[in-house]
């Protein structure tokens, strides 16, 4: 009697035909720009189109009322994705808005210190600098060790009573580096320091659990590894810190106007939202999270690691390729330059030949770029719906361009 091969839970192979078929863009283009904006699955596209049609047919407010339960369920999906309560989630316009609503809600005092990582995202770092100008806080970069990873030992040595915030990008925009968010979280928790994680590139790419990370605040966007729509993102706010934070702007949704001189904030994380919503995008966000959860974040991560590892290993074999992958632990973002070639021009060449990649300029992660002397990089970011044939096509093109 034939017996079934035991199913490896992290093995996506049996589902790949179904996954490929549910990605309409895959028939059209080789898409290795998932760190920019992924190809949406059919269910995410449908969720949005259906709602847009409903709005056109019965009216926008009426459509939102008719779909109120589905809209509310988006919070349950997000809560499952990161292991929190639904009332700890705010759905906002994008990750930048979510992150900024949290950051600018922190009551900084002159002399407070903000600790961050080398590969910090430009927009976040700009906000630190603005806070330094306005409130006299200091911004300090936790150094990396020889392996290129954030040095936990240095972080421990930097801690004192004046550290107000540890703010880290989980996976930077310009490389496959994965910062040790859980170990950083242990340190933050032990010293009762507020901890903010930018999970823009990790959400949808790997499991995220705010209890394991021990973060107080976490922001992410839909369009990247979550495969959701553009122009929508979310913010997690741990309920235990909610009342220490006052949203930097409020409106009639986030607060109620109770008398001539008074208002009260909403009792949940939705005090960081405002009244008007792109409901089609919101439903698309729910659909992309449900889709990722159905496939499984462990399985997604395992396949991304496999494909990205294959790409890196083969790029190394091509003469004249400089890979930006200092540390051993790497995820789906593969960044490199071709010696003697302008990366911007190379990206145009690669895209012209049918493979979507993007570029990453030093100014998007200035400290990492300066410390590691990085040029503009070509960024190929792989997802689980990609395959070896697609990656081989990129390798062929790069090998041709570098020759
Ligand atoms: C893309 C990105 C952001 C900004 O996300 P938006 O949705 O564009 O606001 C923030 N941080 C990192 C690390 C990113 O890659």
Q: Whole-angstrom Cα distance, residue 42 to residue 24?
A: 7
Ligand 1 nearest-atom number relative to CA 201: 15
- What does the pLDDT look like over 203-254, one tens digit per residue? 999 999 999 999 999 999 999 999 999 999 999 999 999 999 999 999 999 9
Whether residue 264 has pLDDT greater than 70: yes
CATH architecture of 46-294: 3-Layer(aba) Sandwich (3.40)
Q: Would you tell me how many other CB atoms lie within 10 Å of the CB of residue 311?
A: 27
Residues with CB under 6 A from ligand 1: 94-96, 121, 169, 172-173, 198, 200-201, 221, 233
Note the pLDDT of residue 5.
46
Is the pLDDT confidence value at 2 over 70?
no
Distance 138 CA to ligand 1 centre (A): 23
pLDDT computed for residue 347 by the predictor: 98
What is the C-alpha to C-alpha distance for residues 93 and 176, in angstroms, rounded to an integer? 26
Would you state the structure tokens that stand for residue 50, as one six-digit string? 């259906």
Closest protein CA for atom 2 of ligand 1: 200
Show the tokens assigned to 29.
């283009």
- What are the C-alpha distances in Å from 21 to residues 18, 28, 41, 307, 357? 5, 12, 9, 19, 22
- Average pLDDT, integer, range 128-148: 95
Q: Which of 230, 272, 240 is nearest to 99 (CA)?
A: 272
The structure's pTM equals 0.96
> Which residues touch 156 (CB under 8 Å, ≥6 apart)?
187
Domains of the chain by residue range = 13-41+296-402, 46-294
Atom 6 (ligand 1) nearest CA: 95
Confidence of residue 9 (pLDDT cuts 50, 70, 90): low
Collapsed DSSP state (helix, strand, coil) of residue 379: strand
Sequence-ordered alpha helix ranges (H) in 241-322: 279-295, 297-316
What does the pLDDT read at residue 1? 41
Looking at the chain, the whole-number percentage of residues with pLDDT higher than 90 is 94
| Nearest partner of 268 among 58, 90, 35, judged by Cα | 90
- What average pLDDT does range 302-329 have in this prediction? 94
Of all protein residues, the one whose alpha carbon is nearest to atom 15 of ligand 1 is 173
* Rounded percentage of the chain residues whose pLDDT exceeds 70: 98
Q: What is the mean pLDDT of the chain?
A: 96
Q: Looking at residue 8, what is its pLDDT?
A: 52
Q: Which residue's structure tokens are 């823009």?
A: 200
- Mean pLDDT across 174-186: 96
Atom of ligand 1 nearest to the CA of 170: 13
Convert the pLDDT of each residue in 107-122 to its tens digit.
999 999 999 999 999 9
Helix (H, G, I), strand (E, B), or coil: what is residue 162? coil
Residue with the smallest CA separation from ligand 1 atom 10 is 200
d(C-alpha 92, C-alpha 248), whole Å: 14
| Contact between 156 and 187 (Cβ < 8 Å) | yes
Question: How many C-beta atoms lie closer than 10 Å to residue 403's C-beta?
Answer: 9
Residue 58's contacts (CB-CB under 8 Å, 6 or more residues apart) are 66
Strand (E) positions, 211-295? 217-221, 233-237, 255-259, 262-265
Tell me which residue of 95, 100, 74, 328 sits closest to 199, measured CA to CA: 95
Helix (H), strand (E) at residue 141: strand 138-142
Of all protein residues, the one whose alpha carbon is nearest to atom 12 of ligand 1 is: 200
228 CA to centre of ligand 1 in angstroms: 14
Q: Which of 173, 174, 208 to mutate to test the pocket of ligand 1 (most atoms within 8 A of CB)?
A: 173
Pocket test for ligand 1, best of 91, 94, 96 (most atoms within 8 A of CB): 96
Check for a shared fold between 13-41+296-402 and 46-294: no
Which residue's alpha carbon is at the smallest distance from atom 1 of ligand 1? 200
The predicted pLDDT at position 147 comes to 82
CA of 333 to the centre of ligand 1 (A): 14
Count how many residues are written for the chain: 403
Chain center to CA of 339:
30
pLDDT at 376 over 90: yes
Q: What class does CATH assign to 13-41+296-402?
A: alpha beta
Give pLDDT tens digits for 37-62.
999 999 999 999 999 999 999 999 99
């Amino acid at each position: 009697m034939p017996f079934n091969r035991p199913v490896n839970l992290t093995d996506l192979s049996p589902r790949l035909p179904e996954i490929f078929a549910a990605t309409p863009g895959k028939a059209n283009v080789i898409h290795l720009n998932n760190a920019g904006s992924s190809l949406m699955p059919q269910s995410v596209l449908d969720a949005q189109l259906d709602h847009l049609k409903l709005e056109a047919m019965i009216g926008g407010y009426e459509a939102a009322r008719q779909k109120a339960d589905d809209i509310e369920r988006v919070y349950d999906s997000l809560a499952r994705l990161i292991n929190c309560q639904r009332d700890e989630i705010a759905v906002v316009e994008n990750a930048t808005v979510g992150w900024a609503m949290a950051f600018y809600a922190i009551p900084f005092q002159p002399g407070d210190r903000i600790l961050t990582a080398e590969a910090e995202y430009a927009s976040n770092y700009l906000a630190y600098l603005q806070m330094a100008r306005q409130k006299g806080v200091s911004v300090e970069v936790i150094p990396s060790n020889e392996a290129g990873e954030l040095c936990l030992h240095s972080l421990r040595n930097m801690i004192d009573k004046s550290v107000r915030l540890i703010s880290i990008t989980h996976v930077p925009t310009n490389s496959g580096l994965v910062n040790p968010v859980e170990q950083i979280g242990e340190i933050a928790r032990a010293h009762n320091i507020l901890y903010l994680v930018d999970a823009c590139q990790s959400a949808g790419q790997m499991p995220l659990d705010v209890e394991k990370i021990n973060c107080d605040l976490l922001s992410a966007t839909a369009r990247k590894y979550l495969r959701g729509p553009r122009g929508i993102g979310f913010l997690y706010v741990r309920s235990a810190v909610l009342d220490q934070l006052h949203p930097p702007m409020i409106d009639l949704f986030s607060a109620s106007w109770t008398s001539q001189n008074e208002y009260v904030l909403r009792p949940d994380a939705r005090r960081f939202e405002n009244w008007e919503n792109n409901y089609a995008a919101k439903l698309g966000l729910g659909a992309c999270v449900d889709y990722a959860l159905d496939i499984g974040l462990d399985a997604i991560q395992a396949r991304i690691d496999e494909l990205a590892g294959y790409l890196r290993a083969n790029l190394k074999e091509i003469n004249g390729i400089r890979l930006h992958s200092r540390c051993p632990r790497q995820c789906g973002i593969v960044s490199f330059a071709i010696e003697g070639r302008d990366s911007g021009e190379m990206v145009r060449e690669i895209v012209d030949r049918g493979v979507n990649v993007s570029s990453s300029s030093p100014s998007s992660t200035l400290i990492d770029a300066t410390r590691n002397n990085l040029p503009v990089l070509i960024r190929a970011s792989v997802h689980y719906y990609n395959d070896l044939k697609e990656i081989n096509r990129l390798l062929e093109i790069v090998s041709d361009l570098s020759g």
